[in-house]
Structure 1
Amino acid sequence: MEKIYLSKEQLRKFLIVYQGLHYPKQFKSYTGIKEFVKRVGCLQYDPLNVVGRNIDLILQSRIENYKPNMLEKLMYGDRELIDGWDKMMSIYCTEDWAYFERIRNRRKSELEELLKRRNSSEAITYVDIVKKYISENGACLPSKIDLGETKLCGWGHGKFSSATMDYMFNIGILGVKEKKNVQRVYDLIENVLPKEVFQMKDPFDNDRSFYKWYFKRRIGSIGIYWDRNGGGWLGHFVSEKKLRNEILQELCDEGELLRVYVEGVHENFYIRTEDSHILAEAEQNFHKKVTFLAPLDNLLWDRKLVKDIFNFEYSWEVYVPVSKRKYGYYVLPVLYGDKIIARFEPEIHRGDAPLVIKNWWWEDRNAVTDEVINEVYDCFARFCTFLKSSGLSDESYKVILGK
């Protein structure tokens, strides 16, 4: 069995190149979005929008001149990508739809138990009513359907129509036709999927075949990943350690995965065999430029891995009480080459107003050179173009410099 030995620096460089975070950019414009999603399997979706949604922040760091309408066209125009459940709420390639039947079945059981615990099981009884309504009236928001109930036990969905349609979405009866801001406009899944995708049957003849596809795919979501419990193994099936160990061993035995040993880290790592050629590409020099990372970026899924390999401790503190936050509400890491050198907290940005940086924290103030500062400013120029902002506010320059 082939074994690969890497230093932490070599692993960092591989991850940066694999994730398309290096310069010059590997993934180009509109077509590059689909290429990147196909490589990593899925991108995690979150509706919060401080300086762009998480999904847009992921893509702006990888796609030159990225604009959110590119993603909207891919998802709701060309139907190349689709909303679905993977690690968490995510987007993935539409052609993968049939492969996720077991995930949808597991979500069905999970949501039925959840609704039962919340005394909201009645929502499930409205499935046929909602399906008939959409069949006769077309795609709609949950608020357009009145099921005679205005409040649900003070949690989550405010109406049965919302709970019912979310349930139907998760189990594959409904799909998202479009989004109005963060609200999903639902349609019958057969009206959302391309005909050939809708008609495709589950390609796996047994659970084991699915597990091998799914576990291997999850390794590819990060690039090289270890077998210990962590953020990269969140989700159905992959979080089951005993099953995971069995499947990873089988995939190694079959040559689908290669085992990787990382200097100074006492964990088993794995890489997809077809991705191993990228190791050589990562050894070549790439331009050291600054990039701002999304809070739920694939590179950051496993906080322990980030700490061990990048020597960077990161926690997304959006849901942490203000008094317990170490940094701030919405903080973005700053990547420079293969190192994470800083983090910053922006103010909410809308329109063409200047972008305001509330706080900036350098990891190592002694390593801040004029070259680094210039690269930070260059990145903000690109970032402000993405935001359609007029540029950084005057005060923000002082915050970055620590004055």
Structure 2
Amino acid sequence: MKYNLSNEQTRKFILIKQGLMGHYKYVGKKGALDYIKEVGCIQYDPIDVCGKNAELVLQSRVKGFKKEMLYDLLYKDRKLMDYYDKVMSILSIDDWKYFKRVRDRYDETEENHPHLAEMKEEIKKKIEEKGYVCSKDFANDQKVEWNWNKTSIAKAAIELMYFHGELIVHHKKNTIKYYALARDYIPKEDYEADDPFQTDLEFYKYRVLRRISAIGLLWNRPTEAYLFIHGLRAKERTEVYQSLLKEDKIVEIEIEGINELFYALNSDEQILLDIISGKTFEGRTELIAPLDGFIWDRKLTETIFDFRYKWEIYNKEEDRVYGYYVLPIISNTEFIGRIEVINQKKEKTLLVKNIWFEDHIKLTKTLKNNILNCLDRFMTFNDCHTIDIQTNLLK
């Protein structure tokens, strides 16, 4: 099946799929879990200026979301887990069995570091004694070559055991991770399950479907959206899309004025039909996380939304066009600009340091009120009591 959409219809499709348009279809802790299951994963990043990336993703979609909800889902309810999907991510614990091939890749790493075997046994023994460990529980005087630099043998062994699936993140305290034995927390039937995929192609199809769902639609071209699907080169990617089309798991989308084919999930076909039929959806104004899944493919975002975004956090201050931690703002069906917001935790104040609008945006009274209402929700999300707006554009 092939659909022909206008650019505006395509934007609506992506935003409705993402839960960023219309009424809030995700509510509370259950809504946060449902959203993560829907898109496959959300990217984790520890930097906290006005909320960590994963929390920022959820606050824009989940009505009544509070930061402790995500922590509870990860470390109390055990409905979610930390693991590599598209880099370090948060995903459903139900997905454990589907990542066996990813975990098995670290067999070779272990073979190349036989000196870690003794340390691994010491780690297991310590976990059995106290329930969980971090690398600081062990002497750090012995160093090994690891990834890009030298690190303690304990940290290297813990990371290897984690990647290999012997450990999971038990909990975090600030940025420190504590680990426990995976067998004690992953359901037995999943922990002991065989690889559900018979071939690499089947595995690639599973991973690509997740990435399509994370954004809403994708194209068959090199992009960061396919990051960490090891072995998925151009040939394999084309084979994946051809196979998924034959199996009716995806549909083709042509966008007016864009000379590329895009692909969406067959399971999202009703959204396409609603949009084509002219069904109306109320627009919303939301702040978007810098590593939000639906802008993983920066070129796709620029092509469809006419919005170029770069996270400038790693740029030197003098090289930044905007700021250190700047969030895109979406309103109705377009990105209207970006904003720099800081949670001043001691003062319980949300500092709105600056805002930059796209050149074509006219700040009407309605749009200004929508932004202020969005910031009011963002203040509550950050557990602040007041807002300090320093930019004259919003006063």
Give the TM-score normalised by the residue count of structure 2. Answer: 0.93
SS at match of 1:260: strand
Residue equivalent to 2:138: 145
Q: What's the offset of the Cα at 1:74?
A: 1.1
SS at match of 2:387: coil
Residue equivalent to 1:30: 29
Residue equivalent to 1:17: 16
Q: Kindly report which structure 2 residues correspond to 1:238-387, keeping only aligned pairs within 5 A, or say none.
A: 239-282=232-275, 283-364=278-359, 366-387=361-382
Please give the alpha-carbon distance, in whole angstroms, between the structure 2 residues aligned to 1:124 and 1:10. Answer: 56
SS at match of 2:390: helix
Q: Kindly report which structure 2 residues correspond to 1:92-107, keeping only aligned pairs within 5 A, or say none.
A: 92-106=91-105
355 and 238 in structure 1: CA distance in 2 versus 1, 3 angstrom threshold = farther
Deviates more, 1:136-145 or 1:157-166: 157-166
Please give the alpha-carbon distance, in whole angstroms, between the structure 2 residues aligned to 1:249 and 1:38. Answer: 25
RMSD over aligned Cα, in angstroms? 2.3
Please give the alpha-carbon distance, in whole angstroms, between the structure 2 residues aligned to 1:152 and 1:353. Answer: 43
Residue-by-residue CA offset, 1:51-97 (whole Å, 9 max, x unaligned): 00000000000011100111111111111111110011001111110
Does residue 173 (structure 1) correspond to residue 172 (structure 2)? The answer is no
Please say if residues 204 and 232 of structure 2, whose CA atoms lie closer than 8 Å, have aligned partners that are also in contact.
Answer: no
153 and 3 in structure 1: CA distance in 2 versus 1, 3 angstrom threshold = closer
Q: One-letter code of the match for 1:103? A: V
Residue equivalent to 2:201: 208
Q: One-letter code of the match for 2:383? A: K
Q: One-letter code of the match for 1:357? A: V
Residue-by-residue CA offset, 1:329-348 (whole Å, 9 max, x unaligned): 11000010111001011235
Residue-by-residue CA offset, 1:221-264 (whole Å, 9 max, x unaligned): 11111111112111123742211111111111121111111112
Please say if residues 207 and 229 of structure 2, whose CA atoms lie closer than 8 Å, have aligned partners that are also in contact.
Answer: no
Q: One-letter code of the match for 1:171? A: H
5+ residue gaps, structure 1, are none
Please give the alpha-carbon distance, in whole angstroms, between the structure 2 residues aligned to 1:248 and 1:140. Answer: 43
Residue equivalent to 1:50: 49
User: Which of the two has greater strand per residue?
Assistant: 2
Q: What's the offset of the Cα at 1:394?
A: 4.5
Does residue 163 (structure 1) correspond to residue 163 (structure 2)? The answer is no
Residue-by-residue CA offset, 1:278-324 (whole Å, 9 max, x unaligned): 11344522222210000000111011011111111100011112222
Using the aligned pairs only, state the percent identity. Answer: 36
Residue equivalent to 2:215: 222
Please give the alpha-carbon distance, in whole angstroms, between the structure 2 residues aligned to 1:341 and 1:253. Answer: 39
Q: One-letter code of the match for 1:20? A: G
Alignment equivalent of 1:237, drawn from 205, 226, 230: 230
Q: One-letter code of the match for 2:54? A: I
Residue equivalent to 1:186: 179
Q: One-letter code of the match for 1:380? A: L
Q: One-letter code of the match for 1:81? A: L
Q: One-letter code of the match for 1:336? A: S
5+ residue gaps, structure 2, are none
Please say if residues 84 and 90 of structure 1, whose CA atoms lie closer than 8 Å, have aligned partners that are also in contact.
Answer: yes
Please give the alpha-carbon distance, in whole angstroms, between the structure 2 residues aligned to 1:304 and 1:121. Answer: 43
Deviates more, 1:343-352 or 1:324-333: 343-352
SS at match of 2:350: coil
Please give the alpha-carbon distance, in whole angstroms, between the structure 2 residues aligned to 1:244 and 1:337. Answer: 33
Residue equivalent to 1:72: 71
Q: How many residues align?
A: 393
Please give the alpha-carbon distance, in whole angstroms, between the structure 2 residues aligned to 1:18 and 1:211. Answer: 22
Please give the alpha-carbon distance, in whole angstroms, between the structure 2 residues aligned to 1:107 and 1:341. Answer: 44
Please give the alpha-carbon distance, in whole angstroms, between the structure 1 residues aligned to 2:176 and 2:212. Answer: 31
